[in-house]
Structure 1
Amino acid sequence: MTDCCSAPGLMPLHEGLTRLLTETPVITDSETVALPDCLDRVLANDVVSPVNVPSHDNSAMDGYAFRFSDLEHHEVLPLAGQSLAGHPYQGDLPAGHCIRIMTGASIPEGADTVIMQEQTEKTEQGIIFTKKPGSKGNNVRLAGEDITRGCQVFQKGHVIKAQDVGLLASLGVANIPVTRRIKVALFSTGDELKLPGESLGQGEIYDSNRFAVAAMLKRLGAEIIDLGKIRDDKSAIREAFLEADRQADAVITSGGVSVGDADFVKDILNEIGHTSFWKLAIKPGKPFAFGKLPNSVFFGLPGNPVSATVTFQQLAAPALRHMMGAERLPASELPAICRTPLKKQPGRLEFQRGILSTNEKGEAEVVTTGSQGSGILRSMSMANCYIVLPASQGNVDAGEVVKVQMFDKPLM
């Protein structure tokens, strides 16, 4: 059910997304990859630690390891040896002695505390403490302090980040079970489209959407099947759909989902599959389509470049992550002071492009990138966030607080 501010006949974004996540199947096929190849892959199983991390009690700094109780009876602790990383002290620590120890080196049997070298003096008789440690166990990292053997480190569905690769290596895990890559077939429709590098004729434009969507799919870790540009011919588009459906888990088109005489996508989709919904109460991106083909699901992105990007990020990407078995990520949203007035008519949820920064008071503030037309792709490149304006919202005055949604960070 739509609210009083929703555009008549248009589906609210949250309802469309819920239906997408309900109607898209989850890939269950998995494969095992080597540790260096697991970045951005989706875990097919939970990861349980086979070891303690750290694997042994070790020193947190360079200094001297000793038995804390010896300080009650000794002013000077003679050196009994040393413990280096990878070359531990052999045997038990003799009573009333200490050993030279380096960061990461094993704590010998009998020792329970480490003092940093800056708080000591070395004499012919041994080591004198210029500052006594506060308590037993100072500067000692215990075995399993970070991760204990048998504990769950990652859940099934976790997308492996760069820092996770290091953590898996610290567990001694060499091979990782992951969900197979989702296969996504991609093509554009439109006789007016030309490839970058080709010359433009009257009324022709470059096909930017397919390249932008392919880049976003690459970020998701998808296997991309690029079928190129398909002319505005019903039989050619039908054959492209059939070929895409034979090869892919999901099919994405750009253009051909509006109401023009040459827009055949909806008709063909209903001939060989079915359409789940067609128009959404968002701006930009109203003419977004979702449906099912015999072997795959279909996402029909609008032809306008900003609309295509917005609908991919807000709808297609979460659905594809769901199909990959990936855990759902909450939108990165925060309040910010809007420093420029914004024009908005009540009726549709809007994603205006903005530039978020922090002022001298440490407050988050945002400004618009300027003209918000759905064909102005530069507004996406300039922006680092969306200014999310609810359907009921009207114009925004400078100084009002708005909600912003951060773009994905490219690192980590």
Structure 2
Amino acid sequence: MVRAIIESMIVRGIGLSIAFLGQVYLARSLGPELRGIYSAIMALVAIGAQVLSFGLQNTNTYVVAKYPSAFNKLFSLNIVFLSGLIFIGVGISYPLWKYLSLPVENVSFPTAFYTFLLIIATIAFWLMGQLLLGLSQFRDFNFYELTSKVLTVLAVIVLGVYGLLDLNAALWSSLFGVIVGCFLFAYSIFKRKTVKFKFDFDGAFIFDQIGYSGRVYLSMIASLLLLKMDILIIERMLGGYSAGIYSVASSLCDLLLVFPSLIVAVLFPKIRDSKTTNEAFKKTTTALKHFLLPLLVGLVVFFFIAEDLVKLIYGKDYAEAATPMRILTWAVLFMSINNYFTVYLSCVGSPWSYVVTGFGVSLLNLILNFLVVKKWGVSGVALVSLVTYFLAMMINSFNSYRISLGKKAF
């Protein structure tokens, strides 16, 4: 298991690096305006896929790992679910675009339709990938996920070299990588001799297991709303250029979250194996103390080199991203600390507390963004993120402390 975690961390780091380089190339090729629209669409894809998946990907991993003999029932459910989603979605895609529009301004119907296809493909990618993880095929999952990202970046670069890279081409590149990833996951599942598929739909069995994924599903939605809604609000209210500037600041700060996320992934099984909630809390806070100093050093460096870093990586067109980046740098600190306590709360069996906190903070974030975006622009949105991340950190750390003392979460 330790080896699998280390391999996953290495591959995840390589994948994130490749994806980041692809995003830099895309940003330089499209310019701030189209980069902003593209970022808003991808935020919509992430939120839409999570909402429309109904947490089935989490059920996949749990059920297959716990009941290997139920694979056919679960895979049949996946087929029925995806088929229904495609059939209904294709039929209503044009009316939705015509009369309701996307939460992104000034997009053509082809762009809206590609966005919908990417949402469906992303759901399929998650479903197949989580089935593979449920079968404990960690190495195949890591390799094929990395292959999907590499193919997406290669498609973007090839289109750019031939002068064909625009908004729709960028979406098609993402769609290409995701679809190939789906087929690779499916190939890995069925190449195993122990897996022989036979259609066996049993909704009642799956319904009995779906309670497990409910809390994970809701917590993921809350997290995505907190992390992704700001770019949609900026694009809708300030336009693509401002969204492009903010997306660059956000992307660079996301790099700072990679290291804390990897540490949390390693920490999870150690906290989970604790005998008492107090022991788990001590492990969490001890790890946090060792982690804070290097993180603070990195944040200080990022803060002072923000403008030079933006110009070096993205070019002078994105120089304005330095100001929101400096603000978001400290939001990263609060988000990183918060991640430790959400892991603790999950390990000690109190996930509902941070689900409620997540939705409450997301709602506050949404309201404050609407109040400040017109007056203070992207810097105001970054400041709202700073405040709401700090609030989430304080609530979750307070609840963690209470639970470590044997009390109920607030």
More strand by share: 1
Q: What's the TM-score, normalizing by structure 2?
A: 0.25
Q: Which gives a bigger RCO, structure 1 or 2 (Cα 8 Å, sep 6+)?
A: 2
More helix by share: 2
Q: What's the TM-score, normalizing by structure 1?
A: 0.25
